[in-house]
Amino acid sequence: MLARLADRFDGPDLRVAPTTSLSLTVVRVEVLAGLTVALALVPEAVAFAFVADVPPLVGLYAAFIVGLITALIGGRPGMISGATGALAVVMVSLVARFPDGVGLQYLFATVVLMGILQIIVGVMRWGKFIRLVPHPVMLGFVNGLAIVIGKSQLDFFRQADGSWMQGGQLVLVLALVALTMLVIWGLPRLTTAIPAPLAGIAITAGVVILFGLPVPTVGDLASISGGLPIFALPDVPFTYETLSIILPYAIILAAVGLIESLLTLNLVGEITGQRGGASQECIAQGTANTVTGFFGGMGGCAMIGQSMINVKSGGRTRISGVSAALFLLLFILAASALIERIPLAALVGVMFMVVIGTFAWNSLKILARVPRVDAVVIVLVTAVTVRFDLAIAVVVGVIVSALAYSWQNATRIHAKVDETPDGAKVYRVQGPLFFGSATGFVELFEPESDPDRVVIDFADSRVADQSALQAIEAVAAKYESAGKSIQLRHLSRDCHRLLTRAGHLMIDSDDDPDYAIAADYGVRTGILGSH
């Protein structure tokens, strides 16, 4: 389903494997895609710097350094990383704790520690746990992030005093936004020689400059002119007190950054036909943030909006990401005057097309057809992403999905009952036996009314955890107190190992090394056969 958004986002099918042969045509497409991304990165980086209450260049340096390093060594070619709003909203409280620019130095130290934590996650290969994120959570993540991206663009319709645009100015800006979106939508149907977003920006900017239209430009946000980032150690005391201040922020930032990056990695992988790379992406993000903290950047993570622009523009290799970072540096060093003349309406139009392409519209159609729990998770994750942040939304979604799955499996436990010719009662247990179903398992049996010999057959069940072992012990104890015998059958090898490792059964068998007769329940208990 996620892959189908590629069809909506652009005319041609984007679900192709990355190009391996670097012809001149491929390089041209990759470089132009990088230029398009760089243009879209500028207002985003400046805006997120304002959110974090730091100078614009701090956001731009982060976009350059994080974008360059992750493009070179990241886990998914085609992904774009930089300063993001998800991290900025966490950073602002740290910066605000210390006046006179001191908070900025603590932020740099926090970003360094954040990067180290992310490298540790990558080295330990914990990035693979992103596989535990269910598909409904992914859909909620995509939809919520699309809404957040769309909402963030609305701020560009405000005037300098914070009031909303009105009258002719609003109509003019909306017309320019519509022009950009029309170019992005229509150009791929005529030619794919030029990335549609780049053409949209160029045409709209040309109209504004040619006719001298009075609309907000990038330069109205802030000047992006500056020099090369300079290496410097964060100017903070290297004490335990400093660590106690920055560590909580570093943990939160590392978690938020990795969650957003790994989910974006999966999304881009769905579109480009790539797999794996989670641990490598963690190391790349950590390295990028560690370096950024020493060069005056606010840190960052993967950006789904810019990643979608890159993929839509034809970016499939590391060239596009590297080009985007280098173009961004060029803007800062030499081309700031030109870039500052680009109308914000053009960039807003590009991002609105990102929103349209990112939102999983088909999820609205399937809400009535998927299981109710999945529908609730999709809506819940979307709402929490919009109201709070991505990390909280994903954690909530995973917890709700896990609890729902556990409950569904807990209610599946039941038993078919029959008797053998010699009068023994056989309980054929069906469904998984684990902590959620342990109580239901115990309630299946009737020790007082059952015959003297009872067989519990696990051919259609699995013993999963310690709670299951305790439930088996509880049932055995009840039959023991009633003076009756119980026999266990058809436990799988892993169930048998659990029982043996826990020390609940004593193995005593010479004829079957995998499945043995067990005794010492105080009753005669056997494990016979296999499945």
* Domains in the chain, CATH or no CATH each: 2-13+22-363 (no CATH), 414-528 (3.30.750.24)
Count of C-beta atoms within a 10 Å radius of residue 418: 11
- Note the pLDDT tens digit of each residue in 400-446: 999 998 888 888 899 999 998 888 999 999 989 989 999 999 999 99
- Note the pLDDT tens digit of each residue in 436-487: 999 999 999 999 999 999 988 888 888 888 888 888 888 888 888 888 888 8
User: Can you tell me the mean pLDDT for 159-163?
Assistant: 81
Structure tokens at 435: 């902590």
d(CA 104, CA 398): 34
Q: Where are the alpha helices (DSSP H) in 388-492?
A: 390-410, 438-442, 466-481
The pLDDT of residue 21 is 61
Give yes or no for residue 171 having a pLDDT over 80.
yes
User: Can you tell me the mean pLDDT for 115-126?
Assistant: 95
Q: Which string of DSSP letters, residue by residue, matches 107-125?
A: HHHHHHHHHHHHHHHHHTT
Cβ distance 36 to 201 under 8 Å? yes
Cβ distance 78 to 249 under 8 Å? no
Nearest to 306, CA basis, from 17, 35, 4, 11: 35
The pLDDT of residue 279 is 93
For 53, the 3-state DSSP assignment is coil
Count of C-beta atoms within a 10 Å radius of residue 16: 12
- The CA angle 172-175-179, to the nearest 5 degrees, is 140
Cβ distance 41 to 306 under 8 Å? yes
For 204, the 3-state DSSP assignment is helix
d(CA 483, CA 222): 85
Name every residue whose Cβ is closer than 8 Å to that of residue 100 and which is 6 or more positions away in sequence.
none
Burial 481-519 (b: 16+ CB within 10 A, else e): ebebbbbbbbbbeebbebbeeeebbeeeeeeeeebbbbe
Look at the chain and count its residues: 531
Residue 283's DSSP bridge partners are none
Nearest to 106, CA basis, from 300, 242, 265: 242
Torsion 431-432-435-441 (CA) sign = positive
d(CA 229, CA 214): 33
- The CA angle 125-130-134, to the nearest 5 degrees, is 155
- Note the pLDDT tens digit of each residue in 180-200: 999 999 998 988 888 889 999
Place of tokens 């998800």: 86
d(CA 42, CA 59): 9
Which helix (H) or strand (E) covers residue 293, if one does? helix 278-294
d(CA 102, CA 100): 6
Grade residue 3 by pLDDT with cuts at 50, 70 and 90: very low
Grade residue 489 by pLDDT with cuts at 50, 70 and 90: confident
Nearest to 306, CA basis, from 363, 382, 358: 358
- pLDDT-above-70 percentage for the chain: 88
The pLDDT of residue 509 is 31
Cβ distance 298 to 56 under 8 Å? no
Grade residue 7 by pLDDT with cuts at 50, 70 and 90: very low
The pLDDT of residue 115 is 98
Cβ distance 371 to 407 under 8 Å? no
